[in-house]
Amino acid sequence: MPGSNLTRIEAEERKAVVEAPIHYHVDLDLTVGGKTFGSTSRISFGARSGASTFLDLIADDVESVELNGVVLDPSKVFVDNRIELTDLKENNEVTVKALCRYSNTGEGLHRSVDPSDGNIYLYSQFEVPDARRVYAVFDQPDLKAIFDFEVLAPESWIVASNMPVHQVEATDRVTLDGTMGDHANEGTKRWVFESTPVMSSYLTAICAGPYAEWHTEYSNEDGRVVPMAMYCRQALAKAFEKDVDYLFDITKKGFAFYAKTWGVPYPYAKYDQIYVPEYNAGAMENIGMVTIRDQYVFESKVTDAYAERRVVTVLHELAHMWFGDYVTMKWWNDLWLNESFAEFTSTLATAEATEWKDAWATFSSGEKSWALRQDQLSTTHPIVAPINDLNDTYVNFDGITYAKGASVLKQLVFYVGRERFFEGINSYLNKHAYSNATLSDLLDELEITSGRDLKAWSAQWLEQSGINTITTEVEENEDGTIKRLALRQTAPAEHPVLRAHRLAVGFYNEDPQTGRIVRTDRFELDVDGELTIVEEAAGKTRPALILVNDDDLTYTKLRFDDKSLKFAADNLYRFDDALARSVIWLAFWDMTRDGELPAKQFIETSLAALATERESTTFRYALAQISTTAWHYTAEADRADVVRHVAAELFKLANAAQAGSDEQFQLITAYLGYGEPGDEAFAANAKGLLDGSVSLEGLEIDNNFRWTVINALSTVNEIDQAGIDAELAKRETTENREFAFGARAVAGTAEAKAWAWDEALHNDALTNMQLEAVARGFASTPRADLAEPYAEKYFETVDWIWGNKTFHMAEALLEGLYPAYADPAKLVELGDAWLASHEDADNALKRIIRGNVESSHRTLKVRRYNESL
């Protein structure tokens, strides 16, 4: 058996054998120590008489297996993470007792010890197939079942699951000695939860520990009262207290918005949100109990962009309660049905139901830039991606599935009409409630309500890879009016699909009263095929800027006509509308990374626009794009001067920004990423921020910003390991340990890089977050001399990493340790050779490596372009 990497064919074969009803009784014992826990699964299920199948289980030891009253030998039936079940009856019951292992990688049942108070916190993360790390299970989304959970835990802990607690009872048991911390020899309680509705195993969840808790309730649209709760670590409770009411309010607004928009009230018994440490993702949509990374508990100042992202994340996971949980994909090829829809509707809800009214500008700057980047790699894939096995699924939690899919859904809403679109969603949710569905099922309902044939639309947008480019062509009359305005659509040779677009064309001019650039006209039209004439524009006065895809209605690359390009580059900072600025800025960035716009021009346009930009996510992405351009895309002869110029301008902008503003905070943080050894002014500024000799009015040197400065000092070797240790000793928390690991790894010495390389690869005691901090610090020092020695080592180590780490840790290492500051020509040569010699490697592994290598190909291409100017 291939074991943990379940294939689609195997899943289909098992689905043909295992029949409803399926019922699990899962009993977990969390009192046996700090390494392992007890797991007992009793599963009743129907099956084809005489058939065979298997359960999934990843465990240290299987104590017993009993099938239909017959005791089986675990050493014979438990092989390669599967338990073989043969000679099945029409009605079956199997009981599996096992000893499973806590993880420190964020997979399965993660165990975290908070160094600030010694408290132990557990939480589960089961997507994609990791329920099998906690209990024996048919771990695939279309084998939905009812689940009953019981959990034995220390009496001082709180235990939560998908459903409300049925009863909590004291037991005669005590916890065992070992690594139970303060809970050794403590009394225990048994938590028994109500039965779940029919659901997929990857959406089940268990959290346990001495979490701080807050409660309220929501008057649901169906007349029920839905209990709501928030949880976090005790060490974060004081910080979280000030945000709890706000987050409850955001969630309630989401309940109301989704119920009204889709016509289906919230379907489950309760709704908890538990903020957990060392989380691999942003959040996870477990039914009735969403787990969220506790970096979203703000002890220190964060950007407005991050605060808005928290709101979008809360609403994204809430959207999943309907799209993904209430109706679930049959197999992972329809993952986009979950993620694209949740990303689209959470942005819609954020823009229309919260104070973050510019959420679509945020989406354009952040999510769409992610999509455009990934869609131009050879590893791009259709939104409805072919998923042959679980490894394929892992790498599809990407910019195509989330951001491109959400962009395309936004396009579909305009294509069929908003009212008809959501009528179709209502029909889809009601028809497939508590079951599984496919893309075809969704399109069927949307075709009925819209009257449009969506099969051709789906073939273009969902089932084909790649992105189109729309170029503006203008012919003018002698009097300055437009003779002909045409939109020319092209497609890359490897994905030669011309798509139908519903988009808007905006005319922009200067407002003589305010000096701002404002929209003075707009046309909405269908664009299809290679050439589309904008008939409404003929005879109108030529505007200063013609903006195709005004309001960002479709998903495409843009190329401006010459006059519009020059005007936008000179005047981006004067545009009145946040979304228009975002669309233009993203087009400039795309041109820069395609080697069509000079790096210096992009940097100067962006620096000028930062002086007036107030949309936080656009601001954040512009800063990141300036950094990439300065460090990677500029001509070698110019790079040092450009980097120093950018650093000086950022420091100047930070000092000129409004005291205490988001812009000030982002600018000074970005400035601290431009340190180079020997830059005495930079070192003096960074040290001065810590000792108070350099100050910006309104800028607080709080915990997280202090570590940002320490990180900057380490990069330029102005603080040593002893200094980092002393900083950590002042306040040793989960977060500060991670900061300290990163600060040590980012140090600008060969010794620090050797330590970080070895630590990331071989210290299995590191948590997932600590490992990521080390890998990130290793690779982010912007010095080629430190990166060069690891170019060959990286490709020599790839196979070992893939063979010896879990997927999430392998991904973190393979992406985090890539020495991107090394000579791109060398990385291209080594990377292409590795790929040529690994044609038979796992597709998921090749996709990760291709993504890295192609980024070096692009760097090399764009550098050469800028060197030719």
What would be the CATH architecture of the domain defined by 468-554+556-577? Sandwich (2.60)
Question: What does the pLDDT read at residue 179?
Answer: 58
Question: What does the pLDDT read at residue 337?
Answer: 85
CATH code for 327-461? Answer: 1.10.390.10
Are the CB atoms for 267 and 321 separated by under 8 Å?
Answer: yes
Q: Where are the chain's structural domains? A: 1-209, 327-461, 468-554+556-577, 598-701
Q: Got the DSSP string for 551-590?
A: GG-S--EEE--HHHHHHHHHHGGGBS-HHHHHHHHHHHHH
Q: Which residues contact 514 (CB under 8 A, 6 or more apart)?
A: 576
Same fold for the pair 327-461 and 468-554+556-577: no
Q: What is the pLDDT of residues 425-467, one digit of tens each?
A: 999 999 999 999 998 999 999 999 999 889 889 999 999 999 9
Q: How confident is the model at residue 3 (pLDDT cuts 50, 70, 90)?
A: low
Burial (Cβ within 10 Å: 0-12, 13-18, ≥19) of residue 104: buried
Q: What is the pLDDT of residues 27-69, one digit of tens each?
A: 999 998 899 999 999 999 999 999 999 999 999 999 999 999 9
* Structure tokens given for 97: 């007792």
Question: What does the pLDDT read at residue 386?
Answer: 84
Q: What is the pLDDT of residues 788-804, one digit of tens each?
A: 999 999 999 999 999 99
Q: Is the pLDDT of residue 2 over 50?
A: no
The full 3-state SS of 137-200, as one line of letters, equals: ECCCCCCCEEEEEEEEEECCCEEEECCCEEEEEEEEEECCCCCCHHHCCCEEEEEEECCCCCEC
Q: What is the pLDDT of residues 528-562, one digit of tens each?
A: 999 999 999 999 999 999 999 999 999 999 999 99
SS3 at position 620: helix
Q: How confident is the model at residue 385 (pLDDT cuts 50, 70, 90)?
A: confident
Q: Which residues contact 108 (CB under 8 A, 6 or more apart)?
A: 58, 100, 101, 102, 124, 125, 126, 130, 133, 134
Residue 111, H or E segment: strand 108-113
DSSP assigned state of 820: T
Q: What is the pLDDT of residues 471-511, one digit of tens each?
A: 999 999 999 999 999 999 999 999 999 999 999 999 999 99
Q: Is the pLDDT of residue 1 over 50?
A: no
Question: What does the pLDDT read at residue 186?
Answer: 85
Region of residue 485 (phi > 0: left; psi between -120 and 50: alpha; otherwise: beta): beta
Q: What is the pLDDT of residues 645-677, one digit of tens each?
A: 999 999 999 999 999 999 999 999 999 999 999
Predicted TM-score (pTM) of this structure: 0.96
Average pLDDT value for the chain: 96
Q: Is the pLDDT of residue 369 over 60?
A: yes
Per-residue pLDDT, averaged over 564-588, amounts to 97
CATH code for 1-209? Answer: 2.60.40.1730
Question: What does the pLDDT read at residue 166?
Answer: 98
Question: What does the pLDDT read at residue 763?
Answer: 97
CA distance 12 to 5: 14
Question: What does the pLDDT read at residue 857?
Answer: 98
CA distance 270 to 553: 36
With a pLDDT cut of 90, the percent of the chain lying above it is 93
Are the CB atoms for 793 and 822 separated by under 8 Å?
Answer: no
Question: What does the pLDDT read at residue 633?
Answer: 98
Q: Which residues contact 443 (CB under 8 A, 6 or more apart)?
A: 454, 455, 458
- Beta-carbon neighbour count of residue 715 at 10 Å? 27
Q: What is the pLDDT of residues 802-828, one digit of tens each?
A: 999 999 999 999 999 999 999 999 999
Tell me which residues are annotated as active site.
Answer: 317
Q: What is the pLDDT of residues 97-146, one digit of tens each?
A: 999 999 999 999 999 999 999 999 999 999 998 999 999 999 999 999 99
List, edge to edge, every strand of the sheet that includes 82-85: 53-56, 82-85, 78-79
* φ and ψ at residue 21, rounded to 5 degrees: -80, 145
The helix, strand and coil proportions of the chain, stated in percent and rounded to the nearest 5, come to 45, 20, 30
